[in-house]
Structure 1
Amino acid sequence: MNLRALTKGDAAVAGAAVLLFIASFLPYWTVDCKGKYCGDTSTNAWDSVLFPVLPSVFLLGILAAALILVQRFQGQAAANRQILGLRLDQWGIAFSVAALWAALWSLGGGLEGIDHGIGAWLAVIALIVLAGAAAGGQLIPVLKTPLVTDRPAAPAAFQPGGYPAPGQPGQPGPQGHYGYPAPGQSGGYGYPVAGQPGQPGAQAPGQPQDVAAQQAAAAQAAEAEAARQAAAQQSAQPQPAPAADFAPFWFAVPAPRQLAPKDGPAGAPVGELVPGTWYLAVEQRGTALVAQLQDGTQGVLADTSGIQRG
């Protein structure tokens, strides 16, 4: 069940169904009768004397809303699931129009001294909203917008190297970055300052270095050289140049779309973008965008048609 897949049109369908259910308990007919021999002067749709108003107007309308919402909750899993050639939401649209047609016909006729009560008029209003939201839910842009959005806070600006820019949350104090010495100091976090003997981690002048430390330094140098060569090979491959005037922005997709790898668009997808969630576009490559997921994964979105900017 994906609550983020619900739209404002689905909310209108649910609200109309609740209003229709309430209207079924309100007076549907009122009798103009005065005197001590007059009994109950009103009756609602649940009274058997009004059959078949209850199943053809009220229950059919509520069933239509239930079918539409069930289809939305199932999402893409029920996109191709059909009953007698129609999806559940298509059956719901047909039932809502049929219920509205029956409600309009029930307002006609009548006898002298018998008038339609608030329940009848409220049912017609609820069915107009229900049929309109059901039929126009995928056509009117306002009704297609997500009901619940998940827009994260704007990311903090970062300097090259991954450290927060001045004035941003998480910036270290004036004595330097966390874990690194301040200007003019040779020691870092957990290491002594140069010239202070006897500190933990200090090495006396002339003491031979540990063999394990030499091996670790050699391994780090080999990894750095391999990373440099890989970066050189990657830079040699032709890639679309990012837009010069591009600025990161939030966006949402109208339908689920796959996210291709940044370095190899032909590779396996690295993630999926779903409606109702905001994603950050960090780069533009021609008509494609480089999007970032909530876990920090970045990939190329080739199909940018119909996206909604935040």
Structure 2
Amino acid sequence: MNLRALTKGDAAVAGAAVLLFIASFLPYWTVDCKGKYCGDTSTNAWDSVLFPVLPSVFLLGILAAALILVQRFQGQAAANRQILGLRLDQWGIAFSVAALWAALWSLGGGLEGIGHGIGAWLAVIALIVLAGAAAGGQLIPVLKTPLVTDRPAATAAFPPGGGYPAPGQPGQPGQPGHYGYPGPGQDPNQAQSPAFAGQPGGYGYPTPQTGQPVPGQGQPQDVAAQQAQQAQAQAAAAQAAEAEAARQAAAQQAAQPQPAPAADFAPFWFAVPAPRQLAPKDNPAGAPVGELVPGTWYLAVEQRGSALVAQLQDGTQGVLADTSGIQRG
């Protein structure tokens, strides 16, 4: 059972099935009768009087949802399994449309004093959602998105404080002493010029009237902030250089002739730690045919040396040259 194979469309199908099951116990017919001899004035779909509403509307719709979800849970293993020429999810789509058709016809007719209850109307709404999600699950982009994704937690890009002054201190935007704002008695044109950085009222320095030390009298906080910013800039440049080197190495490896598939290779599920391009299967040097993103499991169907032939959710296959750091399922 692979929960990561479920999509938002599958969740809508499951929710509609639960709503349909609840509606089967609510009044389907209501009788406008007053007096002590009227007895029970409502009945639900489980009453034999309403046969065949129960099997043709409620049970057929629930069966359609079950077939669709079973197909999704089995994943790629059930991609080629068919019953009378159709997959389980295709049978589910057909059953959901047939149940909706029967529910709409059951709303017609009736006798004087007898009307449809909340169970009938709720069943029609549930079947509309069920049939729409089943038929449009592979067509509407919103319904195709995965229901469960494993995304890494976002980390802070800067250290606490970041070397910026706290609110209310000099150097805050709009206050005297911030970069681009002249200090008391300073020429506005000089305050915006980089040549005057380091002067009282310039970028990162307090104004003389705040009681803080001026340059040359010792400012350990400003020096530490500048060193932290330089260290961050150097680290970012190093990461960019490593990423470019890895990309060039992957491109060179993809351009080389690919070896034959390993004889003892067995398909397996894997996930990538960072977004990676998928090269064409027959021309590794060509334009990418897809992209692998973190948080989604993909099926490796073939191995070519250190590269893998991966399959996307829509069936597209391509060569993944950079397999470093992948997580096997």
TM-score strictly above 0.5: yes
Change (3 A) 1:182 1:88: farther
Instruction: Compute the TM-score of the two structures, normalised by the length of structure 2.
Output: 0.53
Any conservation in 2 of the 1:159–1:165 contact (CA below 8 Å)?
no
Any conservation in 1 of the 2:61–2:96 contact (CA below 8 Å)?
yes
Where does structure 2 lack aligned partners over 5 or more consecutive residues? 185-197, 226-233
- Give the ranges of 4+ consecutive aligned residues of structure 1 lying more than 4 Å apart after TM superposition: 154-192, 196-200, 204-213, 215-276, 278-300, 302-310
User: Any idea what SS the aligned residue of 1:260 has?
Assistant: strand
Change (3 A) 1:224 1:189: farther
Change (3 A) 1:189 1:41: closer
Change (3 A) 1:282 1:38: closer
Could you tell me how far 1:119 is from its partner in structure 2? 0.1
Give the percent of matched residue pairs that are identical in Structure 1 and Structure 2.
96
Could you tell me how far 1:301 is from its partner in structure 2? 2.8
User: Any idea what SS the aligned residue of 1:210 has?
Assistant: helix
Could you tell me how far 1:174 is from its partner in structure 2? 34
Change (3 A) 1:216 1:288: closer
Could you tell me how far 1:277 is from its partner in structure 2? 1.8
* Whole-angstrom CA distance in 1 between matches of 2:105 and 2:199: 89
Could you tell me how far 1:48 is from its partner in structure 2? 0.0
* Whole-angstrom CA distance in 2 between matches of 1:159 and 1:264: 45
Deviates more, 1:233-242 or 1:5-14: 233-242
Could you tell me how far 1:156 is from its partner in structure 2? 8.8
* Whole-angstrom CA distance in 1 between matches of 2:10 and 2:143: 8
Change (3 A) 1:228 1:163: farther
Deviates more, 1:280-289 or 1:173-182: 173-182
Any conservation in 2 of the 1:2–1:75 contact (CA below 8 Å)?
yes
* Whole-angstrom CA distance in 1 between matches of 2:224 and 2:170: 38
Alignment of 1:1-310 (within 5 A): 1-154=1-154, 277=296, 301=320
* Whole-angstrom CA distance in 1 between matches of 2:301 and 2:166: 18
* Whole-angstrom CA distance in 1 between matches of 2:2 and 2:179: 41
Structural RMSD (CA)? 13.8
User: Any idea what SS the aligned residue of 2:221 has?
Assistant: coil
Any conservation in 2 of the 1:156–1:169 contact (CA below 8 Å)?
no
Could you tell me how far 1:152 is from its partner in structure 2? 1.3
Could you tell me how far 1:116 is from its partner in structure 2? 0.1
* Whole-angstrom CA distance in 1 between matches of 2:302 and 2:143: 30
Any conservation in 2 of the 1:93–1:134 contact (CA below 8 Å)?
yes
Change (3 A) 1:179 1:223: farther
Change (3 A) 1:223 1:109: closer
Where does structure 1 lack aligned partners over 5 or more consecutive residues? none
* Whole-angstrom CA distance in 1 between matches of 2:264 and 2:290: 27
Any conservation in 2 of the 1:292–1:298 contact (CA below 8 Å)?
yes
Change (3 A) 1:34 1:5: same
Cα displacement string for residues 260-301 of structure 1 (whole angstroms, at most 9, x for unaligned residues) = 999997999999969952899999999999999999999963
* Whole-angstrom CA distance in 2 between matches of 1:106 and 1:51: 11
Any conservation in 2 of the 1:240–1:286 contact (CA below 8 Å)?
yes
Deviates more, 1:29-38 or 1:175-184: 175-184
Change (3 A) 1:102 1:145: same
Could you tell me how far 1:132 is from its partner in structure 2? 0.1
Change (3 A) 1:56 1:211: closer
Any conservation in 1 of the 2:163–2:222 contact (CA below 8 Å)?
no
Change (3 A) 1:13 1:241: closer
